[in-house]
A and B are shown apart, each in its own frame.
Chain A
């Protein structure tokens, strides 16, 4: 055991951790946008849209992320789109996360008591106003803790993008392992960084949950 290997590569690992956070954050943000659209499709009254949203969720939750990632990677190559690997990486994370986020949003919207929408209608709110002022604010609030949880899951899943050559934590740990011939120390170091980020995120999630509980007076 040579723990100093971790200390020597601390700078590399810190920068790689930044890449991991950035890639996952981009995945979460784009995933949220796509997920909101998928959720809207699932809640739509048009049957074909509903079915399309349902199929999206079932496919992207049913196919392993690594398969999705390689599929997008080879898909771009097959059709001659010369884009950097980072596009495939963020794209795969976003598309996959969108399926989970769509379900989180749907659950949150369902958790808003029906009576509130009905009360707003009775008071003469327009459909758009009900969405904007009654349903959305409450649903977003309810979905904050599960969204932070989803961010933690995505951060761990982002280790898979090392396969297409993105220099994030897992990839950099591999590089350190092969440069120093000290794989054990290198992977322990990388793992500690993941652990630290996730514990920080979990603490943030706990804080958000308590804040929201207090704000809604429960």
Chain B
């Protein structure tokens, strides 16, 4: 691998990495919010709405992310939705990940023991207080490990955005490869870079998990 080449292309590679991080952060955050909203709406137990949301989740979990991106970016204009590549990419990430996040939050809520909610009611907590102080903290803590996992999966989906020409890292690497005829080296460097990135994020995620679930270990040792 020619280091000189990387040096020459450093500005575009750095900007590509910036776009990758931006899309990941914004897309993931919006996906978390939308997923959480879907879970809360589902808890209203209004049947037609539940069916609609179930359909949304099944569609976005049952089709490839790339197809969803094509539909948004190329198919959008024919239903009056004209988006730039990056906007389409971020919106696609948000919709795609929200379906998975909604399922994660649902499982989180299901994991809170009914006894805790009953106990809160019996000591006279208002329903809203029970939700905010009992159900929600328990659900969120149970959801942390799968959320971290999903964010890591999402970081790898970021390279798919290059196919709809979002100028993220993979796109810049392929541009560099095409301009300098170094496809093999460039992709190899990209693989190494991504491996290090995912390994680092996984380690940080494991640490975060250990932190928020520390009280569980404490409870177990006390029991």
Contact with A along B52-84 (1 / 0, CB 8 A): 000000110011111110110011111100000
Q: How far is the CA of A63 from the CA of B198 in the complex (A)?
A: 8
**B187, A195: Cβ atoms closer than 8 Å:** no
Does B190 touch A at the CB level, under 8 Å?
A: yes
Residues of A close to B78: CB separation below 8 A: 1, 182-185
- Select from chain A the residue with minimum beta-carbon distance to B192: A63
Does B188 touch A at the CB level, under 8 Å?
A: yes
Q: How far is the CA of A64 from the CA of B66 in the complex (A)?
A: 13
**A66, B160: Cβ atoms closer than 8 Å:** yes
Q: How far is the CA of A182 from the CA of B74 in the complex (A)?
A: 9
Given the interface pairs A170-B66, A187-B67, the reply to whether A78 lies near B195 with Cβ below 8 Å is: no
**A199, B62: Cβ atoms closer than 8 Å:** yes
- Select from chain B the residue with minimum beta-carbon distance to A68: B191
Nearest CB of A to B54, in Å: 12
Residues of B close to A187: CB separation below 8 A: 67, 70-71, 74-75
Q: How far is the CA of A4 from the CA of B157 in the complex (A)?
A: 32
**A160, B74: Cβ atoms closer than 8 Å:** no
Given the interface pairs A160-B160, A170-B70, the reply to whether A63 lies near B194 with Cβ below 8 Å is: yes
Nearest CB of A to B100, in Å: 12
Interface size of A in residues (CB-CB distance below 8 Å): 42
Does A32 touch B at the CB level, under 8 Å?
A: no
Does A67 touch B at the CB level, under 8 Å?
A: yes
Residues of A close to B183: CB separation below 8 A: 70, 74, 77-78
Q: How far is the CA of A184 from the CA of B174 in the complex (A)?
A: 27
Choose one: A78, A156, A170, A174; the contact of B184 (CB below 8 Å).
A78
**B195, A195: Cβ atoms closer than 8 Å:** no
Does B102 touch A at the CB level, under 8 Å?
A: no
**A67, B64: Cβ atoms closer than 8 Å:** no
Q: How far is the CA of A156 from the CA of B160 in the complex (A)?
A: 13
Residues of B close to A198: CB separation below 8 A: 62-63
Interface residues of B in 127-143 (CB under 8 A from A): none
Q: How far is the CA of A124 from the CA of B116 in the complex (A)?
A: 50
By secondary structure, the B interface counts as: helix
Residues of A close to B190: CB separation below 8 A: 67
Choose one: A70, A169, A177; the contact of B74 (CB below 8 Å).
A177
- Select from chain A the residue with minimum beta-carbon distance to B162: A66
Nearest CB of A to B174, in Å: 8
Residues of A close to B163: CB separation below 8 A: 66, 163
Residues of A close to B66: CB separation below 8 A: 159-160, 162, 170
**B63, A67: Cβ atoms closer than 8 Å:** no
Given the interface pairs A174-B70, A187-B67, the reply to whether A195 lies near B58 with Cβ below 8 Å is: yes
Nearest CB of A to B111, in Å: 20
Given the interface pairs A173-B70, A183-B70, A183-B74, the reply to whether A194 lies near B62 with Cβ below 8 Å is: yes
Interface residues of A in 62-115 (CB under 8 A from B): 62-68, 70-71, 74-75, 77-78
Q: How far is the CA of A67 from the CA of B173 in the complex (A)?
A: 11
**Known interface pairs A71-B191, A184-B78, A194-B67; 19 further A-B residue pairs with C-beta atoms within 8 A, sorted by A's residue number:** A59-B195, A63-B194, A64-B157, A64-B170, A66-B170, A67-B159, A68-B191, A70-B174, A159-B67, A184-B75, A185-B75, A186-B75, A187-B67, A187-B71, A188-B71, A188-B75, A190-B67, A191-B59, A194-B64
The 9 closest A-B pairs by CB, nearest first: A184-B75, A159-B64, A62-B198, A183-B74, A187-B71, A64-B156, A184-B78, A156-B64, A198-B62
A–B pairs, 24, beta carbons within 8 Å: A58-B199, A62-B198, A64-B157, A64-B158, A66-B160, A68-B191, A70-B183, A74-B184, A77-B184, A157-B64, A159-B65, A170-B66, A170-B70, A183-B74, A183-B78, A184-B79, A185-B78, A187-B74, A188-B75, A191-B68, A191-B71, A195-B59, A195-B63, A198-B62
